Chain A
Amino acid sequence: MPPQTLEQTLEGRRSQPNQLIEVLQDIQKNYGYISKEAMQIVSQELGVPLIEVYRVASFYKAFRLKPSGKNVLTMCMGTACHVRGARLLLDQATGQLGVKQGEVTPDGLFSVEHVNCLGACALGPIIAENGSYHNHMTPAKLRKLIETLRRQQIEDKQNVPAK
């Protein structure tokens, strides 16, 4: 399904300041991040001062102001996952990929984020990757997951010219 355009997202919501968060969420889903240009258009169309749009976009964790990696690894840092060693997974990911949280690897393939509880606590530690949940993770499993994803990306890249 092709991502919604900005025009489609704004439809029915113009001049309604209280729709700001809903609009930004749709933009985040469709574009992966909220650009300066998008914020300027939203400010105009919704009737919200630009500084206010920027403020909301920077306040809520759901919004990214910079593009993320192709594979976003989101570590759950909830209490239940924490007592089962979620901290180790975060260290493993940042160590193996050589990036800090919120940063993207130089090859643009990965970024590491954390979330403060996904609500699947019995299955922790959990890592969410591109919408699917991996449960009962260990540092060893994570190492394999990252390698698998990396291999997949390389294969995809190789397959493209063949098409």
Chain B
Amino acid sequence: MSRLNSFRELEHLRERLREQRQNITTTVMVCGGTGCKASRSQAVIDAVRDELSRQGLDTKVRLCVTGCHGFCEQGPVIIIEPSNIFYCHVSPEDAFEIVYQTVVKGEVIERLLYTDPVSGKTARIMSEVPFYQAQDRQILSQNLNVDPCSIEDYIVAGGYSALTKVLRGMTSENIIKEIVSSGLRGRGGGGFPTGRKWIECRDAPGDEKYVICNADEGDPGAYMDRCVLEGNPHLVLEGMMIGAWAIGARKGYIYVRNEYPLAVDHSRTAVEQARELGLLGDNILGSSFSFDVDIARGGGAFVCGESTALMASVAGKVGEPRPKDIHTVVDGLYHKPTALNNVETWANVPSIILNGSSWFASKGSQGSKGTKILALTGRVKNTGLVEVAMGTPIRTVVFDIGGGAVNGNGVKAVQTGGPSGGCLPVDKFDLPIDFDVLYKAGSMIGSGGMVVMDEETCMVDVAKYFLTFLQDESCGKCLPCRLGIDRMLEIITDITEGRGKPEQLDLLEELADTVAQTALCGLGKTAPNPVLSTLRYFRTEYEAHINEKKCLAGVCKALITYSIDPDKCNGCGVCLRGCVYGAITGIKKQVHIIDAQLCQKCGICRSDCKFDAIRVA
């Protein structure tokens, strides 16, 4: 395709592409996101493509390989438009039937429909799936219909019209005013008002400015940014372009973590395609705006999600944060004013420009506007990416969308905000998804990760898990983070291994408070949050570990014993064969026994046993 030199040429291209697709009667969307790919969706894609070709339907039916739709456990997923039919767990062998029955004859294949685990009902179409029903998928729905490797798809769907509107007739003042009135706050965890950040960057002295997209997404259990960047990179690019125009930046970077190879690929392709059309480069669409973007890869460091560490990494250095007495909007990448925003923040910008700030501000709560994408994972029936309006109660997300706990265990808590956040017990589930409310309660929205925990989760172990993670990821420069996290972990390990003393809880709290106040960067400052929030709401679990040397959830190895229930064991010997430590003895068809001395409580026997005969106490 040739370079677009004016707004009119872009509109002409859009019209032409839409005309070309007028003969398309049906679109078959197969998800090619990381989740479905892990469930072998590539084979499904190839099979469907072959089948369409075989049945001579290439011209009438469009195969669109899309990005993630957020319901990864149901993958591989296929959505067929315009009927909105939703198929899950598709295998390559189903391709013929799908094409012949559904695409050609319009008949639904019952066995491929989604069945709700709670109600038992099947859903014919995507909007009938309870998981999707209660959501408000402003950003995620844009993943439908768009092949992330096709700029044409994005243009046909209306892409780059926000950029046109901005370049045609909006001044920097107008753009920033819209962002400010919309109430958009950073979606990466900081929740900083985006408009204000842009003002400070624009007003900072200097001609050379940068915009950066933070796609480091290091929070374990969070994959919202992966989904948006992988599935719709042009949306993010367009947001960055608008921001760059408003701020006066001519260069941008998308910093993608190394562990997202597909997101790196798709971003690179998107940038190349945009350059080809002249949407990146000099005099974009014939205007005075010149802007280009490069992709920078992370090297496997959670700390590089911190803005100053990220900028050091883009410059080819180690990701060690620097003190922020001077903000990065003034002194950022290569010491130039830099506006760094999260993937989701940038993704919200085009729709705010097109639909207006009041539209955006009409959703959400007083202090938190718009929608937020959450990664709902853990011990809940429906795990996946959930987009809801801010202000939605946690209860709605966990129970109405998530379907409640798996295995009939009661939900005990939800962990939000990743390693910087905290755990909230069930009785706090009426709290809304809101930056300030959750912060006051001792947690935070963070980047949007929400891990559901049940009775089999030990909250002391959860604190230990996060401290272990943070110790692994700490850059090690400052004393409170490097030594403080280490000592907190030492104390918690004592507690989980039966050596805990009551005075250690007070020491733990004091140490946590010291680290939170004196650490150099956000990683260290928020590192104590998992400890402090579990102490606040689940102190009894800590006390049980210390005073009674008991782990009620049955997790802490030193405080539990594995044994075989003689009433349930039928002597099949599966556990004996599987035990790596040789701790199980027994004769075939007779009750087996676990030697407590040799048992390492690795849990292999428990997961292997088909008769639920392994007891943990």
Contacts and interface: CB of A to CB of B under 8 A. Distances in A.
**A–B direct touch, CB within 8 Å, in complex?**
yes
B406 to A, nearest CB: 10
B418 A123 contact: no
Interface in A74-132: 77-85, 88, 91-92, 95-96, 115-124, 126, 132
Contact of A56 (B316, B377, B600): B316
Interface stretch (A16-24, A65-73, A154-162): A16-24
Interface stretch (B213-221, B321-329, B518-526, B587-595): B213-221
Contacts of B217: 119
Contacts of A77: 220, 469
A81 B449 CA distance: 13
B24 interface: no
Contact of A123 (B73, B466, B475, B608): B73
Contacts of A20: 316-317
Interface in B282-335: 296-302, 313-319
B251 to A, nearest CB: 12
B260 A119 contact: yes
A52 B318 CA distance: 9
B565 interface: no
Contacts of A95: 580-581, 600, 602
Nearest to B263: A119
**Which of the listed residues A119, A122, A133, A143 has the most CB atoms from chain B within 10 Å of its own CB?**
A119
B341 interface: no
B313 A21 contact: yes
A32 interface: no
Interface string B198-227: 000000000000000000011111110010
A60 B313 CA distance: 10
B578 A18 contact: no
Nearest to B383: A122
**Which of the listed residues B75, B581, B607 has the most CB atoms from chain A within 10 Å of its own CB?**
B607
B425 interface: no
Nearest to B377: A80
B604 A117 contact: no
Contacts of B315: 17-18
Contacts of B375: 80, 121
Contacts of A119: 34, 217, 222-223, 226, 259-260
Contacts of B317: 20, 52, 56
A83 B379 contact: yes
B420 interface: no
B22 to A, nearest CB: 37
A123 B379 contact: no
A121 B302 contact: no
B182 interface: no
A122 B131 CA distance: 14
B411 interface: no
A22 B177 CA distance: 38
A117 B453 CA distance: 18
Contacts of A61: 299-301
B39 A88 contact: no
B378 interface: yes
B603 interface: yes
A116 B220 CA distance: 6
B258 interface: yes
B457 interface: yes
Nearest to B71: A122
B183 interface: no
B266 to A, nearest CB: 13
Contacts of A63: 299-300
A119 B449 CA distance: 11
Contacts of B466: 79
Interface residues of A, number: 50
Contact of A80 (B259, B299, B378, B578): B378
Contacts of A48: 316
Given A59-B318, A83-B379, A139 B604 contact: yes
B278 interface: no
A55 B318 contact: yes
B319 A79 contact: no
**Which of the listed residues B218, B298, B449, B602 has the most CB atoms from chain A within 10 Å of its own CB?**
B602
B174 to A, nearest CB: 35
A77 B472 CA distance: 11
B415 A79 contact: yes
A25 interface: yes
Interface string B31-47: 00011011100000000
**Which of the listed residues A19, A82, A134 has the most CB atoms from chain B within 10 Å of its own CB?**
A82
Contacts of A122: 35, 71-73, 377, 383-384
B611 interface: no
A56 B312 CA distance: 11
A79 B604 contact: no
Given A116-B302, A116-B472, A123-B39, A17 B580 contact: no
A78 B220 contact: yes
A118 B313 CA distance: 20
B451 interface: yes
A95 B600 CA distance: 11
B465 interface: yes
Interface string A8-39: 00000000011111101100000000000000
A135 interface: yes
A86 B581 CA distance: 19
Contacts of B296: 21-22
A121 B604 contact: no
Contacts of A60: 298-301, 318-319
Nearest to B224: A119
Interface string B69-86: 001110100000000000
Contacts of B38: 120, 123, 126, 132-135
B451 A91 contact: no
Contacts of B541: none
A140 interface: yes
Contacts of B604: 88, 92, 139-140
Contacts of A124: 377
A62 interface: yes
Nearest to B73: A122
Interface of A: 17-22, 24-25, 48, 52, 55-56, 59-63, 77-85, 88, 91-92, 95-96, 115-124, 126, 132-135, 138-140, 143
Interface of B: 34-35, 37-39, 71-73, 75, 217-223, 226, 258-260, 296-302, 313-319, 375, 377-379, 383-384, 415, 418, 449, 451, 453, 457, 465-466, 469, 472-473, 475, 578, 580-581, 600, 602-604, 607-608
Closest 6 CB pairs of A and B: A60-B299, A78-B220, A61-B300, A80-B377, A79-B221, A20-B316
19 contacts: A17-B316, A56-B318, A60-B301, A61-B299, A80-B451, A88-B607, A91-B600, A92-B602, A116-B218, A116-B469, A116-B473, A117-B218, A118-B34, A119-B260, A120-B38, A121-B375, A123-B38, A123-B73, A139-B608
